[in-house]
Amino acid sequence: MKNYVKHICIEGIDTSGKTTLALKVAQVRGWQYHHEGVPPAEGSLLEHYASLLLRNESTVFDRLHVGECAYAPVMRGQSRLSDADMKLMQRLIMATGTAIVICDPMLEVVINRWNSIDRAEYLKTQESFSRVWRRFHDFYSINCYHDEGDYPDPEKLIKVSQSLTACPRDVVGSPTAKYLFVGERCNAKPEEFHLPFFSTSGSSGYLNERIAEAGFSEAEIAFTNALDVYGKEVDIHDKRQPNQTLIALGGVAHKILEAQGLIHRTLRHPQYFRRFRSSQSDEYTSALRAIRESSHDANIAFV
């Protein structure tokens, strides 16, 4: 079973020490170093950042998606990443065992450093600088660690990253998920970006909304597909964790799980409800909630 490659993402306001830390950690671990600058003006920013996390070489990122959420509202009025986008990024961060480290010295420390640099390419006022610092300071997600030292400790960061685990390839979500949702096949060409239910629109967006309504936490869910992008059947035994509850989404996933001898629950594919029973989304939510609240294992079909 091949797992995702792990990464480290180092974030923080300018002068917080993130670049020095990122270079040092990359050197110590022998990993690639990647500086992420101004985000691309065109295309999906979610797919851009997610694609970087799908690299096959372990990488220390000097900025990634958190910088967009901290700087963009101050510099441009709003972030191009929605709350739903950030939730999906969190799933991939968990899946890849990526450690997010916020370099977070006291505001007075970074302001003193900021006052001593050439500001031609930086925030122009102390007020805007303080607003960006606050957004980094308040940021939290799973796998996120704030280093509040004036000079972050690379050894401490390395220990944090080593404690994290990753999911098998083509699984998105928590490595310790209690529930594994199994879809049919990603609706994308092989050469295009594809991850299971990794979208805020269409059936993926519909499913993610219903899952949240049903009370599932991000720490207890993961997603994969029964067919790969070429239409070849996937061995779900290689994707699941021990004691996971498998939830087949639609008839194709149900038949494949059944043929592989895997006990599971079955739901209609979210696309069916989105297209033909859109006014009955509460029924889909109720079915999901019933699965979450059920304690016995059986091949039960819902809705």
Residue 295: pLDDT band by 50, 70, 90 thresholds?
low
Residue 208 in 3-state DSSP? Answer: helix
**CATH code of the domain containing 212:** 3.40.470.10
Q: Are residues 129 and 264 in the same domain?
A: no
Given a cut of 90, whether residue 83 has pLDDT beyond it is yes
Domain count along the chain: 2
In this prediction, residues 46-65 reach a mean pLDDT of 96
pLDDT digit string, tens, across residues 138-165? 999 999 999 998 888 888 888 888 899 9
Q: Are residues 45 and 108 in the same domain?
A: yes
**CATH code of the domain containing 129:** 3.40.50.300
Residue 222 in 3-state DSSP? Answer: strand
In this prediction, residues 200-228 reach a mean pLDDT of 95
Q: Tell me what pLDDT residue 122 has.
A: 67
Domain extent at residue 280 = 172-302
Q: Are residues 15 and 81 in the same domain?
A: yes
Given a cut of 70, whether residue 303 has pLDDT beyond it is no
| C-alpha to C-alpha distance for 233 and 221, rounded to whole angstroms | 22
Residue 3 within any structural domain of the chain: no
pLDDT digit string, tens, across residues 173-190? 999 999 999 999 987 766
Q: Are residues 38 and 127 in the same domain?
A: yes
Q: Are residues 148 and 182 in the same domain?
A: no
Residue 52 within any structural domain of the chain: yes
Q: Are residues 130 and 154 in the same domain?
A: yes
Q: Are residues 12 and 144 in the same domain?
A: yes
DSSP state of 64: -
Residue 178 within any structural domain of the chain: yes
Out of 101, 130, 162, pick the residue that ends a domain. Answer: 162
Q: Tell me what pLDDT residue 120 has.
A: 53
Residue 209 within any structural domain of the chain: yes
| C-alpha to C-alpha distance for 31 and 51, rounded to whole angstroms | 18
| C-alpha to C-alpha distance for 66 and 135, rounded to whole angstroms | 9
Given a cut of 80, whether residue 299 has pLDDT beyond it is no
Name residue 146's amino acid: H
Q: Are residues 28 and 158 in the same domain?
A: yes
Question: Alpha helices of 139-177 — where are they, by DSSP H?
Answer: 154-162
Q: Are residues 65 and 136 in the same domain?
A: yes
- Name the average pLDDT for the chain: 91
Q: Are residues 117 and 179 in the same domain?
A: no
b/e code 13-49 from CB counts within 10 Å (16+ = b): bbbbbbbebbbbbbeebebeebebeebeeeebbbbbb
In this prediction, residues 6-28 reach a mean pLDDT of 94
Q: Tell me what pLDDT residue 193 has.
A: 77
Given a cut of 90, whether residue 288 has pLDDT beyond it is yes
Residue 65 within any structural domain of the chain: yes
Residue 167 within any structural domain of the chain: no
In this prediction, residues 281-288 reach a mean pLDDT of 94
In this prediction, residues 258-285 reach a mean pLDDT of 93
Out of 162, 196, 215, pick the residue that ends a domain. Answer: 162
The more confident residue out of 1 and 191 is: 1
Q: Are residues 23 and 68 in the same domain?
A: yes
Residue 1 within any structural domain of the chain: no
Given a cut of 70, whether residue 125 has pLDDT beyond it is yes
> Do the beta carbons of residue 143 and residue 99 sit within 8 Å?
yes
| C-alpha to C-alpha distance for 195 and 53, rounded to whole angstroms | 12
Question: What secondary structure does DSSP assign to 30-52, as a single string?
Answer: T-EEEE--SPPSSS-HHHHHHHH
Q: Are residues 150 and 207 in the same domain?
A: no
Given a cut of 80, whether residue 65 has pLDDT beyond it is yes
Residue 212 within any structural domain of the chain: yes
Out of 162, 194, 221, pick the residue that ends a domain. Answer: 162
